[in-house]
Amino acid sequence: MPRFEDIQLLRTTYLRGPSIWTYQPVLEVWLALGELEQYPSNLLAGFNERLSAWLPDLIEHHCGVGTRGGFIERLHEGTWMGHVLEHVIIELLNLSGMPVKFGQTRETSTSGTYRMVFRCPEEAVAREALARGHALIMAAINDQPFDLKAAIQAIKTAIDDNYLGPSTACIVDAAQERRIPHVRLNDGNLVQLGYGAAQRRIWTAETDQTSAIAEGIAQDKDLTKRLLAAAGVPVPEGVIVASADEAWEAAQDIGLPVTVKPSDGNHARGVTLELYKQENIHAAFALAEREGSQVIVERYVQGTEHRLLVVGGKVVAACRGEQVFVTGDGKRTLAELVAELNRDPRRGIEEEYPLELLDLQLPNIQLELARQEVTPETVPAPGRQVLLQRNGNMAIDCTDELHPDVAHYAELAARVVGLDIAGMDVILKDAGRPMKEQDGAILEVNAGPGLLMHLKPSSGAPRPVGQAIAEHLFPGSSEPGSDAGRIPIVGVAGARHSAFIARLVGWMLQLSGKLTGIASSEGMFIAGRQTQKIDTANWAGAHRLLTNRLAEAAVVQTSARSILQEGLAYDRCLVGLVTDMDGWEQLADHDVRTAEQMVRVLRTQIDVVLPHGTGVLNADVASVAELAVLCDGEVLPYALSADNPVIATHRQSASARAVFLRGEDLVLATGAKERVLGRLSALRAAQGDSPEPAALLAASACAWALGIAPDLIAAGIKTFEYKF
C-alpha cells in the first residue's frame, strides 16, 4: 500500500459571526488533497474499516443522505478526504463533550482544493480539533496507529481552558434562548449580554447590578452577621480572635461546641465545625488564619448545611449538603477507601462535576482525620465510619421542600447586604420547617455564588437558575417578540457610496433622538464626533462599537471581503442594506470569480435581518433585487425611476413600501400612495456638493425603514455635513 503525503492545510480562518456558511462561528479550512484527490474513500484499502473502528459513532452522522448511517453509506460509495475530515473533526468534538451538528465541504475552482468548515464557538478549540482530526485521518489513510484517547483528552483540555465556566454558560444559554446576543469580553467569564446601551454584563454569577459595597460587606463575615442580626435575621453569635489562645477562650465563653473559620474566606475553605477540644480549636485557628485576614469563633449550630440561591430578591433554588464518610471493611486502608469513593462519576476536578475529588492531603481533611485519630494508612474496622468532610458538599436539591419562612429570611438577608444575586449558607434541621422553630441560622451571605450545584444536583431536579438570572437582567425577555438587549442596528453592504450612506443614516438616527455610533471605512463616529480615523468597516470596528455603552443605535458598514474573512460582528440587524454586487474582481483569493458568486457573499447581510426588520435593496441591480426572497422581514426596494419593473410589481401590495425618483422628486411610496420628500436640487446640505441620487435613495429608505418621519429625513439630508 502506498504511503500518502499529508493533506495540506493551506489556510485556516475563524469566522466569528454570520457568514456565507451559517449564522454561528465556524472554522474555515482550505485543503489541498494532493494525490489523494485520485483516491476517494472506497479506493483506500482498509480505510473505511479503520475509521469506523476508531469512531464507531460515525454511524449516527446523517450527512446529505438524511438518515442514520448516511455518512457510512457515502464512505462506501466513495467520498473525498476533505469531506471525511469534516466528519472526523465533528465526531472528535462530540466525543469531547461538545455536540456539533454543522459542517460543510465544497470544492473550489482549483481541482483538488477544498473549503471545509465546521461549527465551533471557540477558536482555540476549533484549531485543536482540526489538528487532532488531521492526524487521525492521515493515520487511517496510511494504516498507522493513533492514540484516540489522547486526542480526545487534548480537545477536552482545550474546552476546559477556553470555554465559559458552568455558571456563566448557563446564564448565556438562557439569554440565547431569549434571542439576546452575547459578546465575550475576555478570555475568562466576563460576558456582555446585548448590544450598546441595551447591554448588561455578567461575570460568573455577578452582574453589573452587583454592588461593590454589597460584595465588600459579604466578604466581611463579621460585619455581615452584625447587619443581619440588627435586621432580625437569626445568625450564630461569634467574635473575632487574634490568636489560638484567644480562640479557645472565646469558645469557652460562647459555649462548646464551636465553629472556627476565616472572616473573609470562601468555598468553605478554612472552616472547621463542631469543635470541643482545645487542641482541635488551636489547629482550626491555624487553618483558618491561612485562608483569611482574620479568624472568627462562633457558636456551632446543629443541623445540616443548606445553600439557598436568591436572585432579584427571590429564592429560586435550594440545595442540601451532606457529610462525606467512608465505611471500613477491616481490609482496606482509608486511602484505598477514598480512592474508591473518588471513582463516583459525579466527582471530578473539572467544573462540570457537581462533587469534588477528595484529597486526603488537604488541611481541613487532615484535621478531621486527626480528630478521629486516624491516618490515610489506617485500616478502619468493619462498619466503622470515618468522617472526611462536614461541609461544602451541596448536591441534593430541596427547592420544593423549602418553607416560606426560611425563604423569607434568605431574601431579607440578601436585601440587607444589598446583593442582587446571593448564595445563602443556612443551617437547618428540616428545610420544611420555619427558621426559628428549629433554631436555624444564616451562616454566610456570598456574592458571586456557584450555580453548578443547582444545575447538576446529585439528587433531585436541576433548577433553571440561568433563566432566573436572565429574567432578572432583562424582565419580560421570555415573551415572544421581545427586543431585550438589542439596539437598532443598520448593516450597510456594498461598494457604492457605502460610507456616505452609513454616515447619513447615522446622522438621521442621531437627529431622531438616539445617540448613534457609526463604524465605517471613513472612521468611527459616536454622537456626531469622530473617535477613530482608521477604517472600521470590519469585524473589529463593529465589535468595538457594539460594546460601547453609549450607543443607543449603530450603523455598521460592511464589505464583501470582511464577510469572507471575518463574518459579521452582530447576529441580527433591524435594517440590512445591499447597494450592489460590485468588487468581485478583487476577491479571487476567496474563490469569488464571477459577479454571480457575489450573491452568496452579500446575501449574508439580508439573511440576518430580524423578522420585524427591513431589507433595503437596490432594485436597479437585478441580482440585488432577487435577494428579497431571503429576507425574514419587510422588503423595501429603491430605484432611480418609478418605472422600474421591480418597484412596479412590489407596489401592487397596498402595504408595500418603496423609494424612487419620479423626475426630480424623491418619493416615499406605500402601495399606490406617494409622498414627495423633496426635489433632488433641494435635498442637499447648504454647503457642499449634491449627493449621488442612488446613495440618497438608499439612505432615505433606511431611515424610513427605521421609522424616522419623512420631515426629519429631509431635515437630516439638508443638515448633514459631508465632504465628497
Lowest mean pLDDT, pick from 166-170, 208-212, 261-265, 641-645 = 261-265
Phi, then psi, of 61 in degrees rounded to 5: -80, 115
Give the percent of the chain with pLDDT over 90: 85
User: Cell numbers at residue 702, please?
Assistant: 433606511
Give CA–CA dist 528/537, Å, rounded: 17
Q: What is the pLDDT of residue 264?
A: 82
Based on the number of CB atoms within 10 Å of its own CB, is 414 exposed (0-12), middle (13-18) or buried (19 or more)? Answer: buried
What is the per-residue pLDDT for 351?
A: 65
Contacts of residue 691, defined as CB under 8 A and 6 or more positions apart, other chains included, come to 497, 500, 504, 683, 684, 717, 722, 724
pLDDT tens sequence across 91-135: 999 999 999 989 999 999 999 999 999 999 999 999 999 999 999
Q: Are strands 394-397 and 314-321 parallel, antiparallel or unpaired?
A: antiparallel
Q: What tens digit of pLDDT does each residue of 460-499 get? A: 999 999 999 999 999 999 999 899 999 999 999 999 999 9
Determine the pLDDT at residue 262.
92
Q: How far apart are alpha carbons 72 and 88 in whole angstroms? A: 12
Q: Residue 1's pLDDT is what?
A: 65
Which residue has 450612506 as its cell numbers? 501
How much is the pLDDT for 452?
A: 92
Q: Which of 425, 90, 88 is nearest to 265 (CA)?
A: 425
β-pairing, 489-493 vs 665-670, is unpaired
Contact 3, 39 (CB under 8 A): no
Task: Report the C-alpha gap between 670 and 710 in whole angstroms.
Answer: 13
Q: Is the peptide bond before 257 cis (omega within 30 degrees of 0)?
A: yes
The letter for the amino acid at 533 is K
What predicted TM-score, i.e. pTM, was given to this entire model? 0.90
Least confident of 552-556, 688-692, 712-716: 688-692
If pLDDT is split at 50, 70 and 90, which confidence band does 521 have? very high
What is the reported pLDDT for 688?
66
pLDDT for res 722: 86
Q: How far apart are the first and last CA of the chain?
A: 67
pLDDT, position 292: 82
Query: Mapped to the 3 state alphabet, what secondary structure does 402-445 carry?
Result: CCHHHHHHHHHHHHHHCCCEEEEEEEECCCCCCCHHHCCEEEEE
Across the chain, mean pLDDT equals 94
The 10s digit of each residue's pLDDT in 172-196 is 999 999 999 999 999 999 999 999 9
Give per-residue pLDDT as tens, 198-241. 999 999 999 999 999 999 999 998 999 999 999 999 999 999 99
For 404-419, write each residue's pLDDT tens digit.
999 999 999 999 999 9
**Amino acid 66: pLDDT:** 83
Q: What is the pLDDT of residue 64?
A: 80
Q: Read off the pLDDT of residues 267-299 as tens digits, 9 standing for 90 and up.
A: 677 888 889 999 999 999 999 998 888 999 999
